[in-house]
C-alpha cells in the first residue's frame, strides 16, 4: 500500500445514515485518498463530501470510482478489485439485523477481504480506528499468505 490509500466504502440501506455521518466526521481525511464505492453509497458519499467541501470552501478534488449497486453486481465488482490488489482497505457498514437478498455476495466480499489481508471495518468504531491510524500516512505492506500449495495441489480425476 502506498501513502495514497484506495478505500472502499459500502453500506447497507439501514446503515447509509451511519456512513454519511462517518463521512461528514472524516471528510478532510477521506479527500486525501482514492475512494471506491458501490452504487447508492457512492452517490451519498459524493454528495456529502461536496457539501462539506462547499461549507469549508475547499478546492480539493474528489477521487472516486463508483461501482454498481451491491445487489446488482457491485459487491462482486469490488471483490474482483480486491483480488486484483486494487483496494487497500474496506469500510463496509453492513446490517446484521436485516436479511439481504445478496447475502452470498456480501459473504464472498468479506471472504476476499480476509483472504487478501486488507484492513476491514464492519462498524463505525473500527472505521474510526482505521482512519486514525498512523499507518494511513505511510507505505504499508500487508503480509499475504502463500496459497501456492493450494493452487498447485494434485487433483485426482476419476
Instruction: Assess if residue 137 is contained within a domain.
Output: yes
The CATH number covering residue 49 comes to: 3.40.50.1380
Distance CA 122, CA 78 (A): 15
- What are the residues whose beta carbons fall under 8 Å from the beta carbon of 18, sequence distance 6 or more? 11, 93, 124
Q: Specify whether 13 is catalytic.
A: no
Task: Classify residue 140: in a domain, yes or no.
Answer: yes
Region 3-21 average pLDDT:
95
The half-sphere exposure of 76 on its side-chain side, counting CA atoms within 13 A, is: 7
Instruction: Give the active site residue among 13, 75, 88, 95.
Output: 75
Burial class, 134, CB count within 10 angstroms (exposed 0-12 / middle 13-18 / buried 19+):
exposed
User: What domain count does the chain have?
Assistant: 1
Residue 157, in any domain of the structure: no
- With residue 34 as reference, give the H or E element that holds it: strand 34-37
Interatomic CA distance for residues 127 and 101, integer angstroms: 25
Q: Does the predicted model carry a pTM greater than 0.85?
A: yes
**Which of these, 51, 39, 35, lies nearest to 11 by C-alpha position?**
39
Q: What is the mean pLDDT of residues 5-32?
A: 96
The boundaries of the domain holding residue 67 are 6-151
Per-residue pLDDT tens over the stretch 59-116: 999 999 999 998 899 999 999 999 999 999 999 999 888 877 778 888 999 999 999 9
- Distances in Å between the Cα of 18 and the Cα atoms of 14, 44, 46, 88, 115 are 8, 11, 15, 22, 27
Look at residue 156 and tell me if it is in a domain: no
φ/ψ of residue 8, rounded to 5: -90, 135
Residue 158, in any domain of the structure: no
pLDDT for the residue 14: 94
To 5 degrees, how large is the angle CA 64–CA 65–CA 66?
115
Q: Which residues lie closer than 8 Å to 22 by C-beta, 6 or more apart?
A: 91, 93, 124, 127, 128
Amino acid at each position: 500500500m502506498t501513502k495514497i490509500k484506495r478505500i472502499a466504502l459500502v453500506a447497507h440501506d439501514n446503515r447509509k445514515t451511519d456512513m454519511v455521518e462517518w463521512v461528514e466526521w472524516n471528510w478532510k481525511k477521506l479527500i486525501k485518498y482514492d475512494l471506491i464505492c458501490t452504487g447508492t453509497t457512492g452517490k451519498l458519499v459524493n454528495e456529502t463530501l461536496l457539501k462539506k467541501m462547499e461549507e469549508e470552501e475547499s478546492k480539493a478534488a474528489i477521487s472516486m470510482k463508483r461501482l454498481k449497486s451491491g445487489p446488482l453486481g457491485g459487491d462482486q465488482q469490488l471483490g474482483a478489485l480486491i483480488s486484483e490488489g486494487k483496494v487497500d482497505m474496506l469500510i463496509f457498514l453492513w446490517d446484521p439485523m436485516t436479511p439481504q437478498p445478496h447475502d452470498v455476495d456480501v459473504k464472498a466480499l468479506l471472504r476476499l477481504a480476509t483472504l487478501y489481508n486488507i484492513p476491514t471495518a464492519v462498524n463505525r468504531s473500527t472505521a474510526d480506528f482505521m482512519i486514525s491510524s498512523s499507518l494511513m500516512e505511510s507505505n504499508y505492506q500487508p503480509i499475504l499468505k502463500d496459497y501456492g500449495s493450494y493452487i498447485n495441489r494434485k487433483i485426482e480425476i476419476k
